[in-house]
Amino acid sequence: MTQRETAIPEPYRRSEFSRAWRRFKRYRPGLFGMFFILALIVLATIPDLLSPHSHTQIFRGMRGAPPSWSHPLGFDHIGRDMLSRTIWGSRVALIVGLLATGISVVVGVAVGATSGYLGGRVDAALSRVVDTLMAFPILVLLITLSAVLGPSLVTVVVIIGLTGWAQYARVVRADVLSLREREYTLAARAAGAGDARIIFRHILPNVMGPVIVLASLGIGGIIILESALSFLGLGVQPPTASWGGMLSDGRAFILIYPQIAIAPGVMISLTVLAFNLLGDGLRDALDPRQKDASLDG
């Protein structure tokens, strides 16, 4: 028997937002995710004030030195303070995660809505473009593009953003296809609403829930992609601190200074976990259709 939750009586009309917030609050891991991400945003905004040392300052004679009171995470292979570099690394992760996802969502929703609403040849053509993008193994595509265009922070954001929209387009298209045939859409049309009004008032608001959920779940994946690119030397370039780049140093010196590889990996994992949990919470709050599958511990 599946457990049914008891409906909470709502004595007076609440706004859509406050009802969603009430649902979101009930999922504790989602709250944890949200607070972790807020803390990370603070770190990434003012790392110069919060980190004890400069992320590029080299302490002489301290190569790979283990943790101490004044340097709780120790030093990297050329004697830089690991804690400071780890804090600075949050900046790259968040910039890439948020901006690239933003680009993908905008392009994906536009393409998906156009494709689903217009149908016919436009849909067939756009769907082939989406298929093509999805056919390239994403990391293979990113590695090639990054090498060809020259790796940098901007390159990473742009190529991840412009290659990652296909999944949003696919979801939005499928949703629009079915929403287009719903009674309320037909009713709106019968009442004389134009295409633009139907798309923006009746269809897109219903699509945004799943898109927001997909985006918050997608940010984690993008942060992993970014760190993978930096790990391979094709992401953000040194001396800028990025967690992936630090892991790359960690790998090179893994048999001599294994502690280098620990902190950045923990931070990537926690960040990805936080975004995934936030996404689960948002799914409960915004996308009640999928609610059952995600109600868990």
**Do residues 37 and 81 touch, judged by C-beta distance below 8 A?**
no
CA distance 245 to 227: 7
**Do residues 243 and 93 touch, judged by C-beta distance below 8 A?**
yes
Rg (the chain; Cα; Å): 23
190 to 229: interface string for another protein, x by CB under 8 A: ------------------------------x---x--xx-
**Do residues 115 and 123 touch, judged by C-beta distance below 8 A?**
yes
Using the minimum distance from each CB to another protein, give the nearer residue, 98 or 228.
Answer: 228
**230: nearest Cα among 96, 135, 137:** 96
**286: nearest Cα among 86, 13, 16, 56:** 16
**Concatenated DSSP letters of 166-235:** HHHHHHHHHHHHHHTTSHHHHHHHHTT--HHHIIIIIIHHHHHHHHHHHHHHHHHHHHHHHHHHHHTT-S
Tokens standing for 61? 């004679």
- Determine which residue in the list 72, 239, 258, 288 makes contact with another protein, applying CB under 8 A: 258
Using the minimum distance from each CB to another protein, give the nearer residue, 3 or 15.
Answer: 3
Size of the site for another protein (CB under 8 A): 49
CA distance 176 to 31: 31
48-56, 84-92, 139-147, 165-173 -> range binding another protein (CB under 8 A):
139-147
Using the minimum distance from each CB to another protein, give the nearer residue, 36 or 59.
Answer: 36
Whole-number minimum distance, CB 169 to another protein, in Å?
15
**Do residues 117 and 171 touch, judged by C-beta distance below 8 A?**
no
Q: Is residue 5 a contact residue for another protein (CB under 8 A)?
A: no
- Determine which residue in the list 65, 232, 237, 291 makes contact with another protein, applying CB under 8 A: 232
11-19, 39-47, 49-57, 269-277 -> range binding another protein (CB under 8 A):
269-277
- Determine which residue in the list 137, 181, 192, 194 makes contact with another protein, applying CB under 8 A: 137
Tokens standing for 234? 């094709």
In single-letter form, the type of residue at position 288 comes to: P
Using the minimum distance from each CB to another protein, give the nearer residue, 2 or 70.
Answer: 2
- Determine which residue in the list 39, 42, 122, 148 makes contact with another protein, applying CB under 8 A: 148
Using the minimum distance from each CB to another protein, give the nearer residue, 105 or 224.
Answer: 224
80-88, 97-105, 143-151, 187-195 -> range binding another protein (CB under 8 A):
143-151
**Do residues 105 and 215 touch, judged by C-beta distance below 8 A?**
yes
Q: Is residue 132 a contact residue for another protein (CB under 8 A)?
A: yes
SS3 at position 70: coil
35-43, 59-67, 98-106, 243-251 -> range binding another protein (CB under 8 A):
243-251
Binding residues for another protein (CB under 8 A): 2-3, 127-129, 131-132, 134-137, 139-141, 143-145, 147-149, 220, 224, 227-228, 231-234, 247, 250-251, 254-255, 258, 261-262, 264-265, 268-269, 272-273, 276-277, 292-294, 296-297
